[in-house]
């Protein structure tokens, strides 16, 4: 197992170091890097990395936040040069301004990126940049170049990049331990990839209806932010987000060649989700409440509705349900069909013990937003509390039909089927939850338990046995 983790560390992740160069090296047709690994193997490696990341962090699993970042990402992918590739977008609760990409289309966004961005266009510009890393197979091209280096140096360098994606300080420390000559070779190649990702990312950004100027504008903010973290002891290329004046100028020069785009879609939704992330990730709820109170009192809030929404969520998290409702109500009065407000109101109703009122809110909104992922998963939690596992299971299975699987969904299915007395089915869903979490041994154990409860049901036994063989095969390969 240790060997496979080292291998994955050596193949999976590169971080957006944001270095400048005008040398855009587009891959040639038949680029030999593609021969290193198949798309299926590339996805398997990315999935393994995603499993390891989930072991290290509690990723943000709020249905609204997950749905928002996924839809934003899919909109960009649809306008990229590889719209048919599979992508998985997720958010890491980390205050640093960062995003990173892994093979197989796994793209992580730090919560600090969303909180620092002033517009949705800026977030989209970073996602478009990371999407370009995936579509251009930059990691494989980098790995191909590294065949000229020693194997230990190659593994150490890319493993350091993997660590850096999760914790920039850990990545820097690891890289500093590698020989200086090898470091410079890797960084120079990465700069070329970064410039290419800027170029193609901006094209994807514009095709998706976003403002091309968002990329250089965000670069400028990153440059200003990096000044607070840089020291003379750390070279530019080892900082989390080093941005040079040349890179900003290059991005600005390309941006002016595109016509100004009006923001498409619901811009308020971005600001609402940004405040929800702020509340979910704060480590000082009282201070955050004071921040919202000050922003509303000053009247200088950039988006008063979003500030009021965040204030209500913070009050609810602090247990002040009465004031949370008072703060939220004017938003509902002005825009009663907005789902985010309705979900917040339902949470307040649940907190004060009015479960039936919350269920009415969910059911009413299902007519307005049928099969909405966030709505359905929140409704399931309320149905579980109301001892209605059958309806909850139906909602969850409908989400599966729509392709909206997740660890949270599998866990809920395990609970609802268990509440209905379907023990074999419950353990089967627990197995899928563990598999999605990268805990394959536990997944296999759950399948064996499920098989024990399925005696006499040939169809169920066949389904369980097939899945168990798949997982045991993966485990056997990982142990080699």
Residue 196 counted as domain residue: yes
Residue 454 counted as domain residue: no
Per the structure, how many domains does the chain have? 2
151 and 119 inside one domain? yes
Strand partners, 469: none
- Residue 137: the pLDDT is 81
207 and 292 inside one domain? no
289 and 240 inside one domain? no
- Residue 11: the pLDDT is 35
Q: Report residue 146's pLDDT band, with 50, 70 and 90 as the boundaries.
A: low
Residue 142 counted as domain residue: yes
232 and 319 inside one domain? no
Q: Is residue 294 scored above 90 in pLDDT?
A: yes
Q: Is residue 383 scored above 60 in pLDDT?
A: yes
- Residue 236: the pLDDT is 32
249 and 270 inside one domain? no
Q: What is the C-alpha separation between 118 and 213, in angstroms, rounded? A: 13
Q: Report residue 264's pLDDT band, with 50, 70 and 90 as the boundaries.
A: low
Q: Work out whether strand 88-92 and strand 106-110 pair parallel, antiparallel, or are unpaired.
A: parallel
Q: Is residue 94 scored above 80 in pLDDT?
A: yes
- Residue 248: the pLDDT is 80
215 and 275 inside one domain? no
- Residue 197: the pLDDT is 83
Which of the residues are catalytic? 130, 198
Q: Is residue 48 scored above 90 in pLDDT?
A: no
Higher pLDDT, 4 or 335: 335
Q: Report residue 190's pLDDT band, with 50, 70 and 90 as the boundaries.
A: low
Question: How much is the average pLDDT of 115-119?
Answer: 92
Sign of the CA dihedral 210, 211, 213, 214?
negative
- Enclosing domain of residue 130: 2-255
Q: Determine what percent of the chain is predicted with pLDDT higher than 90.
A: 58
Residue 293 counted as domain residue: yes
Is 114 buried (19+), middle (13-18) or exposed (0-12) by CB count in 10 A? Answer: buried
Is 211 buried (19+), middle (13-18) or exposed (0-12) by CB count in 10 A? Answer: buried
Digit-coded pLDDT (tens) for 445-480:
999 999 999 999 999 999 999 999 999 998 998 776
Higher pLDDT, 467 or 244: 467
Question: How much is the average pLDDT of 226-235?
Answer: 44
Give me the torsion for CA of 433, 439, 442, 448, rounded to 10°.
Answer: 70
pTM across the whole model: 0.83
CA distances from 204 to 80, 126, 210, 293, 376 (A): 5, 11, 9, 39, 31
Residue 285 counted as domain residue: yes
233 and 190 inside one domain? yes
- Indicate the range of 50-54, 408-412, 414-418 predicted with least confidence: 50-54
336 and 234 inside one domain? no
Question: How much is the average pLDDT of 46-75?
Answer: 91
Which of 113-127, 205-219, 257-271, 341-355 reaches the highest mean pLDDT?
341-355
Last residue in a domain, options 353, 384, 401? 353
60 and 202 inside one domain? yes
Across the chain, what does the average pLDDT equal? 81
Q: Is residue 10 scored above 80 in pLDDT?
A: no
Residue 451 counted as domain residue: no
Q: Determine what percent of the chain is predicted with pLDDT higher than 70.
A: 75
237 and 323 inside one domain? no
Residue 68 counted as domain residue: yes
Looking up tokens 């919350």, which residue turns up? Answer: 358
Last residue in a domain, options 255, 290, 322? 255
183 and 73 inside one domain? yes
Nearest CA to 4 among 143, 153, 159, 138? 159
32 and 116 inside one domain? yes
Residue 420 counted as domain residue: no
Report yes or no: 447 and 428 within 8 Å, Cβ to Cβ.
Answer: yes
- Residue 280: the pLDDT is 98
- Indicate the range of 77-86, 118-127, 161-170 predicted with least confidence: 161-170
Question: Half-sphere exposure of residue 338, counting CA atoms within 13 Å on the CB side?
Answer: 21
Q: Is residue 434 scored above 70 in pLDDT?
A: yes
Report yes or no: 233 and 168 within 8 Å, Cβ to Cβ.
Answer: no
Q: What is the CA radius of gyration of the chain?
A: 24
Nearest CA to 226 among 252, 205, 247? 247
Report yes or no: 10 and 158 within 8 Å, Cβ to Cβ.
Answer: yes
Q: Report residue 179's pLDDT band, with 50, 70 and 90 as the boundaries.
A: very low
- Indicate the range of 165-169, 211-215, 259-263, 281-285 predicted with least confidence: 165-169
Last residue in a domain, options 215, 231, 255? 255
Q: Is residue 135 scored above 50 in pLDDT?
A: yes
């Amino acid at each position: 197992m240790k060997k496979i983790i080292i291998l994955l560390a050596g193949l999976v992740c590169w971080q957006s170091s944001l270095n400048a160069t005008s040398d855009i090296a587009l891959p040639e047709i038949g680029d030999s890097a593609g021969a290193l690994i198949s798309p299926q193997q590339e996805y398997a490696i990315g999935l393994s990395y995603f499993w390891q990341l989930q072991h290290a962090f509690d990723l943000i699993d709020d249905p609204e936040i997950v749905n928002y970042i996924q839809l934003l990402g899919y909109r960009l992918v649809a306008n990229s040069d590889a719209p048919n590739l599979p992508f998985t977008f997720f958010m890491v609760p980390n205050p640093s301004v960062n995003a990173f990409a892994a093979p197989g289309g796994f793209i992580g966004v730090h919560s600090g990126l969303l909180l620092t961005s002033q517009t949705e266009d800026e977030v989209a510009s970073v996602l478009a940049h990371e999407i370009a890393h995936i579509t251009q197979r930059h990691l494989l091209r980098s790995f191909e170049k590294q065949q000229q280096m020693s194997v230990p140096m190659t593994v150490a360098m890319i493993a350091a990049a993997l660590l850096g994606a999760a914790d920039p300080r850990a990545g820097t420390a690891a890289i500093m331990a590698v020989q200086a000559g090898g470091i410079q070779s890797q960084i120079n190649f990465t700069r070329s990839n970064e410039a290419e990702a800027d170029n193609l990312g901006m094209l994807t950004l514009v095709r998706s209806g976003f403002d091309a100027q968002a990329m250089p504008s965000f670069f400028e903010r990153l440059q200003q932010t990096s000044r607070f973290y840089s020291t003379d002891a750390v070279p530019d290329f080892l900082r989390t987000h080093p941005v040079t004046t040349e890179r900003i100028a290059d991005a600005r020069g390309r941006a002016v060649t595109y016509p100004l785009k009006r923001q498409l879609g619901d811009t308020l939704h971005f600001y609402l989700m940004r405040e929800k992330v702020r509340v979910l990730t704060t480590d000082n709820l009282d201070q955050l409440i004071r921040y919202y109170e000050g922003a509303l009192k000053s009247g200088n809030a950039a988006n008063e509705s979003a500030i009021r929404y965040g204030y209500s969520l913070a009050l609810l998290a602090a247990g002040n349900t009465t004031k949370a409702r008072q703060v939220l109500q004017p938003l509902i009065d002005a825009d009663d069909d907005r789902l985010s407000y309705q979900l917040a109101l339902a949470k307040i109703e649940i907190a004060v013990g009015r479960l039936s009122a919350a269920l009415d809110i969910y059911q009413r909104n299902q007519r307005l937003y049928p099969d909405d992922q966030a709505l359905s998963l929140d409704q399931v939690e309320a149905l579980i509390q109301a001892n209605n596992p059958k309806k909850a299971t139906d909602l969850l299975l409908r989400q599966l039909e729509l392709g909206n699987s997740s660890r949270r969904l599998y866990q809920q299915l395990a609970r609802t089927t268990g509440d209905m007395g379907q023990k074999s089915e419950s353990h089967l869903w627990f197995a899928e939850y563990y598999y999605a979490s990268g805990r394959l041994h536990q997944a296999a154990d759950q399948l064996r338990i499920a098989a024990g409860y399925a005696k006499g049901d040939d169809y169920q036994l066949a389904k369980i046995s097939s899945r168990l063989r798949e997982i045991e095969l993966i485990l056997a390969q990982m142990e080699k």
